[in-house]
Every structure is written in C-alpha cells, then in structure tokens.
Amino acid sequence: MSQPLPQRTRDYVGEVTNTDIWSDFIIRPDDIFVCTPPKCGTTWTQTLVRMLITKTADPAVYNNAVSPWLDCGFRNREEQDRILAAQTHRRCIKTHTPLDGITYSPDATYLVVHRHPVDVHFSLRRHVENMKDDWLDYLFPDDLSEAFAMFLDRPASSKGTDDLTLASYLHHYRSFRAFRHLPNIHFLHYAELSRDLPGQVARIANILGTEIAPEMIDEIAEAASFGSMKENARRASQQPGFKSAFQDYAQFFASGTSNKWEGKLTADDMARYDARLSEMVTPADRAWLEHGQVL
C-alpha cells in the first residue's frame, strides 16, 4: 500500500505570514521551494539556488522580486503570484510555513533548511532589532534570560513560525520530517553549509539535476561566502529607489556565526534548554537540529 502524501490542512496567519495564497497557486513541475523557519539560511539557500539555475557566480542574481516569499502577509500576495506566473525560467520560491500549510506536488523540489535552535533565537533578536517596524519587539525584552524563557516556553499557535519559538520551530521540522522518505524533500543544515560550502553547492546541484563544472562549484561557493553576501547587500542598498524593511539592509547578514549564545546565557538558561529540547525530540533529531549530523 502506498503511503499518503502531504496535504495542506490548515492556514497560518501571523504578523508577517498569511498562507491563503496557496489555495489557488499553480505549482510547476520544476519549481524549487526553499522551506525554512526564519533565520535558518533562507536567503543563503535561495542565492545558491539562483546561482545554480543561472550558472552565474554572483549573489546579485538573487533578489526577492525574482525569488519571492510567496506567503508573506505584508506584501501583495496576488502580485507575487502574477510575478511568478510571468516567469519563464525555473522558479525558486521561499516559504517559512510548515508543510501542512503549503501545497505539495510530487514533481516539485522542496529544500528544507534548519539551524541550531539557540542560534536561531539570537539571530532573530538581531533581525528584529534591525527592523524599521516594531511588530515583533514584544518577543525580545531587554532581559536576555526572560526573552529566552519565552522562546522555550511559549506554545506553537496558528501563527506558525511567526511565533518565533522553539515549539513553532520544531513543528516546522516535524511537518517535513514525517515525509523525509519522499524523494523530492531534501534536508539542508546551516552548519553543513558553513562547514563545507563547496560540498553543499555540489549536493544542491545534484538535487536540482543541474550539470555544473567543478570550477563553477568553487566559484559559486566563493560568491556565496558571508563576506560576499554582505557586500552584495550593501551594494544593493545603495541603488537609487532601494527600499527595505530594515534600518541597515547589510545587517540582514549580521555575522554568519554559530554559538551566538556564548557569554549571553547563563548555565541555568542552557540547562532549561537542554531539558526542554530533550522532552520534545529524540536524540537523533536533536543531533541533526543542532549540528547537522546525518538524519
């Protein structure tokens, strides 16, 4: 008996997400969906995909008009749909929504990207501080231990990853993890991208069925280095008419480092995290979520 395929069973609506667009969105067989919680390497992965699609070692081939966030709640989703419908090249589409809130096609490709949960929390803090609007400030009080306790303790809700909590992060992971046996769902990890970017570029090229010369793999990896990505953002922000939701667009790429909590959280904070995560996932899942070890 064949196993059931993923189904879209719910909508997620939060401060920055609205999944209603999926009801009518038409998926093409060669579409590539980059599926991540926020601050897990979304833009990094989109840029790698766009460079592989175009065979161009330049991070400028990515922008959010060409590779849009389909279910972004504060943008015109119908316009996003029209932009994508007009594209004749292979499409790369971003979503932060769990698998039960998006449309699944057995012909499309789903790249699921995650990162150490505590790094995500601190990267989100910097991200929210850099935003011009204060939609999400309430999740990050000045006291770091208080904010971290909120991250650990608040439950997942109908906002999906807009909750910016451990529970919502793990719900996203589990929604895809349950279908990891499907040949078109592929897991990437921020730590693996950091450890061996050329190797991961080659892996993504293989997933996409893109034939690419070894020297181009190295060129793309160099173009996707943290320094190159940040410099590209700085150049983009200086273009006439540039608009951004961030005070400093280049700081969207804040540091590109891991272990961001060191020197910021107490031993008690980390003990609570250890206990909480151990309650919620298996040791094998934890090893992958934190370090990208083989699933």
* CATH number reported for the structural domain that contains residue 103 in this entry: 3.40.50.300
pLDDT at 250: 44
Asked if the structure places residue 9 within a domain, the reply is: no
Indicate the pTM of the whole model.
0.90
DSSP 154: S
For residues 262 and 148, the answer to whether their CB atoms sit within 8 Å is no
Handedness of CA 102, 104, 107, 111 (dihedral sign): positive
Closest by CA to 185, choosing from 172, 198, 168, 199, is 172
Asked if the structure places residue 240 within a domain, the reply is: yes
Asked if the structure places residue 13 within a domain, the reply is: no
For residues 126 and 78, the answer to whether their CB atoms sit within 8 Å is no
71: Cα separation from own chain's centroid: 13
For residues 109 and 210, the answer to whether their CB atoms sit within 8 Å is no
Asked if the structure places residue 260 within a domain, the reply is: yes
pLDDT at 164: 94
For residues 104 and 9, the answer to whether their CB atoms sit within 8 Å is no
Asked if the structure places residue 1 within a domain, the reply is: no
Asked if the structure places residue 6 within a domain, the reply is: no
Q: How many domains are there within the chain?
A: 1
Residue 103: give the domain boundaries. Answer: 19-291
Q: What is the pLDDT along the chain (295 residues), one digit of tens a residue?
A: 567 999 999 999 999 999 999 999 999 999 999 999 999 999 999 999 999 999 999 998 888 889 999 999 888 888 888 999 999 999 999 999 999 999 999 999 999 999 999 999 998 888 777 655 666 778 888 899 999 999 999 999 999 999 999 999 999 999 999 999 999 999 999 999 999 999 999 999 999 999 999 999 999 999 998 777 777 666 765 566 556 555 454 444 555 555 666 678 999 999 999 999 999 999 999 999 999 976 6
Asked if the structure places residue 110 within a domain, the reply is: yes
Asked if the structure places residue 10 within a domain, the reply is: no
